[in-house]
Protein backbone atom coordinates (compact mmCIF):
# COMPACT_ATOMS: atom_id res chain seq x y z
CA UNK A 1 0.00 0.00 0.00
CA UNK A 2 1.42 3.40 -0.98
CA UNK A 3 -0.40 5.31 1.77
CA UNK A 4 -1.31 4.52 5.36
CA UNK A 5 -2.95 7.76 6.58
CA UNK A 6 -0.81 7.49 9.75
CA UNK A 7 0.97 10.79 9.04
CA UNK A 8 -2.10 12.83 8.17
CA UNK A 9 -1.78 14.80 11.42
CA UNK A 10 1.78 15.88 10.57
CA UNK A 11 3.66 13.29 12.56
CA UNK A 12 5.75 10.20 11.85
CA UNK A 13 7.87 7.57 13.58
CA UNK A 14 11.46 6.43 13.28
CA UNK A 15 13.10 2.99 13.42
CA UNK A 16 14.18 3.44 17.02
CA UNK A 17 10.80 4.71 18.23
CA UNK A 18 7.98 2.93 16.42
CA UNK A 19 5.78 3.33 19.49
CA UNK A 20 6.26 7.12 19.57
CA UNK A 21 5.24 9.77 17.02
CA UNK A 22 7.34 12.84 16.10
CA UNK A 23 6.51 16.02 14.23
CA UNK A 24 7.32 15.98 10.52
CA UNK A 25 8.69 19.48 11.20
CA UNK A 26 11.34 18.15 13.61
CA UNK A 27 15.03 18.54 12.88
CA UNK A 28 15.32 14.78 12.49
CA UNK A 29 12.61 14.76 9.83
CA UNK A 30 14.31 17.77 8.20
CA UNK A 31 17.65 15.94 8.10
CA UNK A 32 16.02 12.83 6.64
CA UNK A 33 14.17 14.91 4.04
CA UNK A 34 17.40 16.61 2.98
CA UNK A 35 19.11 13.21 2.63
CA UNK A 36 16.18 12.00 0.53
CA UNK A 37 16.41 15.11 -1.64
CA UNK A 38 20.14 14.74 -2.40
CA UNK A 39 19.69 11.03 -3.08
CA UNK A 40 16.87 11.76 -5.54
CA UNK A 41 18.88 14.48 -7.29
CA UNK A 42 21.82 12.09 -7.62
CA UNK A 43 19.39 9.72 -9.35
CA UNK A 44 18.74 12.43 -11.94
CA UNK A 45 22.50 12.96 -12.33
CA UNK A 46 23.03 9.21 -12.68
CA UNK A 47 20.38 8.96 -15.39
CA UNK A 48 21.92 11.89 -17.27
CA UNK A 49 25.45 10.45 -16.84
CA UNK A 50 24.34 7.27 -18.60
CA UNK A 51 24.93 9.14 -21.86
CA UNK A 52 28.64 9.58 -21.11
CA UNK A 53 31.61 7.27 -21.27
CA UNK A 54 33.41 8.98 -18.37
CA UNK A 55 35.27 6.56 -16.13
CA UNK A 56 36.59 7.29 -12.67
CA UNK A 57 39.04 4.83 -11.10
CA UNK A 58 37.85 2.21 -13.59
CA UNK A 59 34.15 2.73 -12.79
CA UNK A 60 31.57 4.49 -14.89
CA UNK A 61 30.18 7.77 -13.64
CA UNK A 62 26.70 6.23 -13.13
CA UNK A 63 28.25 3.42 -11.05
CA UNK A 64 30.11 5.96 -8.93
CA UNK A 65 26.93 7.96 -8.34
CA UNK A 66 24.99 4.80 -7.50
CA UNK A 67 27.53 3.86 -4.85
CA UNK A 68 27.07 7.30 -3.30
CA UNK A 69 23.31 6.75 -3.35
CA UNK A 70 23.75 3.42 -1.56
CA UNK A 71 25.88 5.12 1.08
CA UNK A 72 23.29 7.86 1.54
CA UNK A 73 20.70 5.17 2.26
CA UNK A 74 22.98 3.87 5.02
CA UNK A 75 23.17 7.39 6.45
CA UNK A 76 19.40 7.83 6.20
CA UNK A 77 18.84 4.56 8.02
CA UNK A 78 21.30 5.57 10.76
CA UNK A 79 19.61 8.98 11.22
CA UNK A 80 16.23 7.19 11.33
CA UNK A 81 17.53 5.02 14.18
CA UNK A 82 18.48 1.79 12.41
CA UNK A 83 21.66 -0.04 13.37
CA UNK A 84 23.57 1.09 10.25
CA UNK A 85 26.74 3.15 9.95
CA UNK A 86 29.09 4.58 7.37
CA UNK A 87 32.56 3.13 7.79
CA UNK A 88 35.91 4.82 7.33
CA UNK A 89 36.62 2.73 4.21
CA UNK A 90 33.68 4.43 2.45
CA UNK A 91 35.14 7.84 3.30
CA UNK A 92 38.56 6.66 2.11
CA UNK A 93 37.03 5.50 -1.18
CA UNK A 94 35.47 8.93 -1.78
CA UNK A 95 38.78 10.61 -0.96
CA UNK A 96 40.55 8.26 -3.38
CA UNK A 97 38.12 9.19 -6.16
CA UNK A 98 38.62 12.90 -5.45
CA UNK A 99 42.42 12.49 -5.40
CA UNK A 100 42.32 10.59 -8.69
CA UNK A 101 40.19 13.25 -10.37
CA UNK A 102 42.31 16.07 -8.98
CA UNK A 103 45.39 14.65 -10.73
CA UNK A 104 43.63 15.14 -14.09
CA UNK A 105 42.47 18.71 -13.48
CA UNK A 106 44.19 22.05 -13.76
CA UNK A 107 44.70 23.65 -10.32
CA UNK A 108 41.90 25.75 -8.87
CA UNK A 109 42.64 29.47 -8.77
CA UNK A 110 39.08 30.81 -8.65
CA UNK A 111 35.43 29.85 -8.39
CA UNK A 112 33.62 28.83 -11.58
CA UNK A 113 30.13 29.53 -12.87
CA UNK A 114 27.85 26.50 -12.94
CA UNK A 115 26.46 25.34 -16.25
CA UNK A 116 29.33 24.15 -18.41
CA UNK A 117 27.16 21.29 -19.64
CA UNK A 118 23.79 19.95 -18.57
CA UNK A 119 25.40 17.12 -16.60
CA UNK A 120 27.96 19.35 -14.90
CA UNK A 121 25.20 21.85 -14.03
CA UNK A 122 23.15 19.04 -12.46
CA UNK A 123 26.17 17.83 -10.51
CA UNK A 124 26.86 21.39 -9.34
CA UNK A 125 23.25 21.69 -8.20
CA UNK A 126 23.68 18.36 -6.39
CA UNK A 127 26.81 19.77 -4.73
CA UNK A 128 24.81 22.72 -3.37
CA UNK A 129 22.04 20.40 -2.15
CA UNK A 130 24.66 18.12 -0.55
CA UNK A 131 26.04 21.10 1.37
CA UNK A 132 22.54 21.99 2.59
CA UNK A 133 22.02 18.35 3.57
CA UNK A 134 25.23 18.42 5.56
CA UNK A 135 24.05 21.57 7.37
CA UNK A 136 20.70 19.92 8.22
CA UNK A 137 22.38 16.79 9.59
CA UNK A 138 24.88 18.86 11.59
CA UNK A 139 22.04 20.97 12.98
CA UNK A 140 20.17 17.84 13.97
CA UNK A 141 23.28 16.41 15.64
CA UNK A 142 23.68 19.62 17.66
CA UNK A 143 20.28 19.04 19.24
CA UNK A 144 21.68 15.85 20.77
CA UNK A 145 18.55 13.75 20.30
CA UNK A 146 20.70 10.92 18.94
CA UNK A 147 24.41 10.71 18.30
CA UNK A 148 25.39 11.35 14.71
CA UNK A 149 28.63 9.43 14.25
CA UNK A 150 31.71 11.37 13.09
CA UNK A 151 31.93 9.14 10.00
CA UNK A 152 28.51 10.37 8.85
CA UNK A 153 29.56 13.99 9.23
CA UNK A 154 32.86 13.28 7.44
CA UNK A 155 31.14 11.44 4.57
CA UNK A 156 28.67 14.27 4.02
CA UNK A 157 31.52 16.78 4.11
CA UNK A 158 33.44 14.81 1.45
CA UNK A 159 30.31 14.41 -0.69
CA UNK A 160 30.23 18.07 -1.73
CA UNK A 161 33.95 17.87 -2.58
CA UNK A 162 33.35 14.73 -4.63
CA UNK A 163 30.52 16.38 -6.54
CA UNK A 164 32.67 19.45 -7.23
CA UNK A 165 35.43 17.18 -8.54
CA UNK A 166 32.88 15.41 -10.75
CA UNK A 167 31.63 18.77 -12.09
CA UNK A 168 35.14 19.72 -13.08
CA UNK A 169 36.08 16.36 -14.63
CA UNK A 170 32.83 16.23 -16.62
CA UNK A 171 33.58 19.69 -18.00
CA UNK A 172 37.17 18.71 -18.77
CA UNK A 173 36.25 15.48 -20.54
CA UNK A 174 33.44 17.22 -22.42
CA UNK A 175 35.80 19.94 -23.64
CA UNK A 176 33.88 22.64 -21.77
CA UNK A 177 35.85 25.67 -20.60
CA UNK A 178 35.35 26.66 -16.98
CA UNK A 179 34.26 30.29 -16.69
CA UNK A 180 35.26 32.27 -13.59
CA UNK A 181 32.98 34.95 -12.15
CA UNK A 182 33.84 38.50 -13.22
CA UNK A 183 32.85 40.11 -9.90
Domains in the chain, ordered, with CATH? 25-173 (1.20.1200.10)
CA dist 26 and 33 (Å) reads: 10
pLDDT tens figures, 135-182? 999 999 998 777 899 999 999 999 999 999 999 999 999 999 999 899
For the cut 80, the answer to whether the pLDDT of residue 63 exceeds it is yes
pLDDT single digits (tens) 10-58:
565 555 566 665 655 577 889 999 999 999 999 999 999 997 888 888 8
pTM above 0.95, yes or no: no
Q: pLDDT tens digits for 82-120?
A: 899 999 999 999 999 999 999 999 888 888 989 889 999
Amino acid sequence: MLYTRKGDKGDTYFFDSEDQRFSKGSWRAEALGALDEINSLLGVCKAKAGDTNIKINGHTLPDTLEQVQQNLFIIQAAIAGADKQITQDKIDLVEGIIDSIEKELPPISTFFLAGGSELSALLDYARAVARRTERRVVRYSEIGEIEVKPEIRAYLNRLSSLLYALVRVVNLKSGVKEIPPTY
